[in-house]
Amino acid sequence: MPKCSVYTFLFVLLFTSINSSAQTYKKTDLGIKTNINGIEIELQLYSPAIIRVLKSPAGNSFNKESLSVIKKPGKTTFNVQQQGDLLYLKTNKLLVSLNMKSGDISYFISGNLLLKEKDEGVKFTSFNDAGNNTYKVSQSFVLDNDEAIYGLGQQQGGKMVQRNLTLHMVQGNTDDYIPFFQSVKGFGVFWDNYSPTQFIDNTEGTSFTSDVGEGIDYYFMYGGNADGVVACMRDLSGQAPMFPLWTYGFWQSKERYKSQDELIDVVKQYRKLGVPIDGIIQDWQYWGNNYLWNAMEFLNVDFPDPQKMIIEAHNLNAHMIISIWNSFGPHTKQYRDLEKINALLDFTTWPQSGSEKWPPNRDYPSGVRVYDPYNPEARNIYWNYLRKMYSLGLDGWWMDSSEPDHLDFKPSDLDNKTYLGSFRKVRNAFPLMTVGGVYTHQRAVDSSKRVFILTRSAFAGQQRYGANTWSGDVTASWDALRNQISAGLNFSLTGIPYWNSDIGGFFLSKFPGKLKDPEYRELYVRWLQFGTFCPMMRSHGADAPREIYQFGQKGNKYYDAIEKFINLRYRFLPYIYSTAWDVTANQSSMMRALMMDFPKDKQALDINDQYLFGKSLLVSPVAKAMYIKPGTSGQRFIQEEDFSSIKSKETYLPAGANWFDFWTGEKLMGGTKVNKETPIDMIPLYVKAGSIIPFGPEVQFAEEKKWDNLEIRIYPGADGKFVLYEDDNDNYNYEKGIYSTISFSWDDKKRTLTISNRNGSFPVMLDSRKFNIVIVNTGKSVGENTVNEPDKVITYTGKKVAVKF
């Protein structure tokens, strides 16, 4: 080697050594590790599109086992390259840059910046958590000024876009917090922390700050669009299993049926009236007094033969689920068993008195205590008692107070010790753990019946546990109804697809006249119309019963409107059940914010009172009173109904598609606002051009009739596809591939419908059936009518058929 070359080589070696000693990193099998400004930083690749970021003070690196994330990091091909102060990690999906001086991370796609951590946006503040020295942790990001983000769980504020707000994220009765947001730019961020957390978005940045954390732990994911982000989140935290077909029928409940005879009589009344119903729910106190709270036994004398009650319900072709709680009275067997293993938490919960009278008499405290679902042995005890109820033939569980109720809050309450540390450390994951405990235990003992859990709270990952979350004990009002829409949509955008609300609102305190108040009757009907297009259609509430016959009889406008929409729900069952399969098989969402399907339409990004139900139906609920006038006495609760003129609602039809009025078949242009007359028995409902929608028969319960004579409606104007899914309607055979799908394709230019070869099979599958094809247009009578004159009738035996129109 020439002398000059030797000196050059030594200089380069020395420079590289000095440079690398100041900005060193280690490449690992999963990504990279480094230490910058006293902070250890690790990037782990879970897939080419999902990156986990771990940060902790130097010397305090941590290895947390996530409660929400079940995916393990996979072997991902990536490259690492350093250019000056920037270290680049590149996959075939993403480019991530780490500033080796500041420690800030930025995320890019195709050279475009998606998200950047804020300069000096990391904070670790020493904190003593019930005797454990740990940290309060914070991470800030920088979003574009006009960037729309969504998610963060369910809140009641009526906001669609989650910008310019502060959220104190602690699970509550009507607020379900999930520290996850997704951007209209096609990425999502999951902050994997379970302690009380502040989410703040303002002009200074967007941040998560949690009370407890050994370090910062978050996931960045790129899906390209909202469906893709949801798919990433489910890839991380678990897929959503199928619910039975019967769960998509109509459900009736109230606070509470006080005897088994009363409960069964409700089902009998529906059958007598010929109004469809699939489920009845028994709320609390079937166990007796409050000292026996949640005993999971029928100790109330008015439920003398629960086995007979359940059999009677089943004989009436109805399913029954029952209220269970996450707390126990001091006289229950569960309380004694849980106390022995120190698995009862010590803070005030519901109910506060042993007496059932209201208000609570604090001289006689109930002694009810919340259990520790983080403890696996406690979850075993819970199921061991619940299993005895399951053996009676109950069809599902209504897990109330799953956040749980935390009354008379004191900061020291969070010092309670759980199996996983302080209650503060794991506070928000309570619903995930308790719902998961029931699901995993039931799955372990029985695969013949799908788990169905109705729960009042949720946390990230809960979709994997067969749970449908309802929005809590909301007070009935027009504002509350309107707020349910954005609450359910943002909840769905966190990756949890199943959500519903108490149709009519739980409390009627704003309506002193209760069902005598015409404004409340109108509100109930409008809420039920909204509930028709939710993943679960469930009437429930306190203060007044809500059964259809409480609203009059046939010929009464309210009664007829209720009956019309319950029947409409059942006609949509083939569409709904197939959409549910799309959720399970393809990570789709049932309730779809407009931004999911129309992200390029800026007018659609912040609409909080419309949504898609499935990928074809645009639903625009009516959320204001239209048909009341002041009563002659001036007292609010004797207002009078006024149907003298028909009112209307304006709806925005997103650009990028044309639309059909569901009720008339009229074709409308996208990117426009339209007014629709909205008599009490109608809401604006539109179908996207190119849609193929199967309509089922009129039935009294979901499985009454086979789908052997379906009406297939084609909404022309664009090419379209639809997959009709069918299986045994219950059990987990579908996980073994025991189901069938039939794909329908519409070629709009050729006006040809192609029905593919049937894929798959199951034991009770139809060998032959008729499809009644209806091409929708303005001249046809469509809407909810039972029978439309078909354009063609096709006999289908599972072999490919192409039909030209």
Give the whole-angstrom CA distance, residue 436 versus residue 444: 12
CATH 3.20.20.80 for the 245-579 domain, yes or no = yes
Positive or negative: CA dihedral 348, 354, 360, 363? negative
The pTM score is: 0.95
Kindly name the residue from 42, 176, 211, 403 that is annotated as catalytic.
403
Q: What confidence score (pLDDT) does residue 16 get?
A: 37
Domain 24-185+187-222: which topology? Immunoglobulin-like (2.60.40)
Residue given tokens 């001249």 in the structure block: 779
pLDDT of residue 637: 54
Residue type, 488: G
Model pLDDT, residue 358: 81
DSSP helix/strand/coil, 433: helix
Each as own residue / partner, the long-range contacts of residues 300-309 (CB below 8 Å, 24 or more positions apart, any chain) are: 302/258, 302/259, 302/260, 302/261, 303/259, 303/260, 304/260, 305/260, 306/260, 306/392, 307/392, 307/393, 308/260, 309/260, 309/263, 309/264
Residues of the chain with CATH 2.60.40.1180: 628-804
Active site residue 346: no
Measured from the Cβ of residue 785, the count of other Cβ atoms closer than 10 Å reads 12
Q: Which two tokens stand for residue 606?
A: 């912040």
How confident is the model at residue 785, as a pLDDT?
A: 59
Find the catalytic residue in 211, 372, 473, 727: 473
pLDDT for 638 = 63
- What pairing do the DSSP bridges indicate for beta strands 279-282 and 319-324? parallel
Q: Specify whether 176 is catalytic.
A: no
Considering the chain, tell me which residue range(s) the CATH 3.20.20.80 domain(s) occupy: 245-579
Nearest 5°: phi and psi at 688? -70, 135
Burial class (CB in 10 A: 0-12, 13-18, 19+), 527: buried
Active site residue 473: yes
> How far apart are alpha carbons 641 and 646 in whole angstroms?
12
List the catalytic residue out of 40, 176, 214, 400: 400
Residues of the chain with pLDDT under 70: 1-23, 631-638, 779-781, 784-787
3-state secondary structure of 352: coil
pLDDT for 361 equals 86
d(CA 142, CA 204): 8
pLDDT score at 74 = 84
Three-class SS of residue 519? helix
131 — alpha (psi -120 to 50), left (phi > 0) or beta?
left
Pick one of 2.60.40.1180, 3.10.450.630, 3.30.60.50, 2.40.50.140 as the CATH number of 628-804.
2.60.40.1180
d(CA 390, CA 397): 9
